Amino acid sequence: MKHQTSLFALCALFLGLCSSPAWADGSVSLAEDASHNYWATFSNISDAVFIPFGSGTVHVYTVGYRETSAGAVLVLYPLTTETIDATEGYFVPAATGVLIKAAANSVTYNTVTGSSAVSFPATNLLHAANGPITAVAGHTYYKLAYGTMINEGQGPVYDLSTLGFFYGAEGGGSYTPANGKAYLDIYLAASSAPARFVIEEMEEETSSPTDLHHSSPEATDGSVKLIHGTTILILKDGVTYDLSGRTSKTQQP
């Protein structure tokens, strides 16, 4: 028995993913949009999870934000799939928010141990639900929801074309997201941030962002807001400042 334990420990140390996923640990219910795709935000506070690809029927995204000439849009960046125990899917770290798109209204996820062979994008505006949001000045908070109810009745009927991200609470302030969900945190004051982002108006990229600039809000006065972790830095005239106006670093030509 001692010999077997030693071999397992060495295996776990050098391979990282020796422990198999515990398949069919749980499932996520998704909401339908007008194009008959299904969407849900997702997070797991305590464990990393593996979401099977399902032969192309499931896609998992991180979320970025972009200003365009037509206004603000959300940009959906796909996660890269990998294979664990001969199953292709997406590795989502613990306490990480993602957006799921699927061809059916329920998706299975699986608890995993070890680490991923695929790097998780550093730029992601979705955050894991973990009790009430601690509001920060200059931030606006959204949840995935329908914007319009057609008929309450015994079972509510919604306008599927209005599925998207809406203020989690009045004015985009702090609220308590449901367990297992994720909330969207836009680095703009509610007075400047859009009131909603409808799913069908969002941009889906074909690859993950390669730099911070692609998922950062851009100002129109010649300065650019950069997201660095959870901090906003302002780039202007070749110099980066924090929100208090202090110089952070000088940009080299």
Q: What is the pLDDT along the chain (253 residues), one digit of tens a residue?
A: 444 434 333 333 333 343 455 555 788 999 999 999 999 999 999 999 999 999 889 999 999 877 666 666 788 999 999 998 889 999 999 999 999 999 999 999 999 887 888 888 878 999 999 999 999 988 999 999 998 888 777 777 888 999 999 999 988 999 999 999 999 998 888 887 888 888 888 888 877 664 433 344 444 344 444 444 334 444 455 455 544 445 444 333 2
If asked whether residues 59 and 109 sit together in one domain, one would say yes
Residue identified by tokens 């890269």 is: 80
CB atoms within 10 A of CB 127: 19
Domain membership of residue 69 (yes or no) is yes
If asked whether residues 194 and 103 sit together in one domain, one would say yes
If asked whether residues 211 and 226 sit together in one domain, one would say no
Domain membership of residue 127 (yes or no) is yes
Any idea how long the chain is? 253
Domain membership of residue 231 (yes or no) is yes
If asked whether residues 242 and 178 sit together in one domain, one would say no
Round to the nearest angstrom and report the end-to-end CA distance of the chain: 62
Strands (DSSP E) found in 96-230? 98-102, 106-111, 126-128, 140-146, 149-151, 157-158, 163-167, 182-186, 196-198, 203-204, 224-228
If asked whether residues 236 and 123 sit together in one domain, one would say no
Domain membership of residue 148 (yes or no) is yes
Domain that holds residue 77: 20-218
* pLDDT for residue 53: 95
Domain membership of residue 107 (yes or no) is yes
Q: What domain count does the chain have?
A: 2
The model carries a pTM of 0.74
* pLDDT for residue 20: 54
Measured between alpha carbons, how far is 46 from 87 in angstroms, rounded to an integer?
Answer: 22
> How wide is the angle at C-alpha 107 spanned by C-alphas 127 and 12, nearest 5°?
75
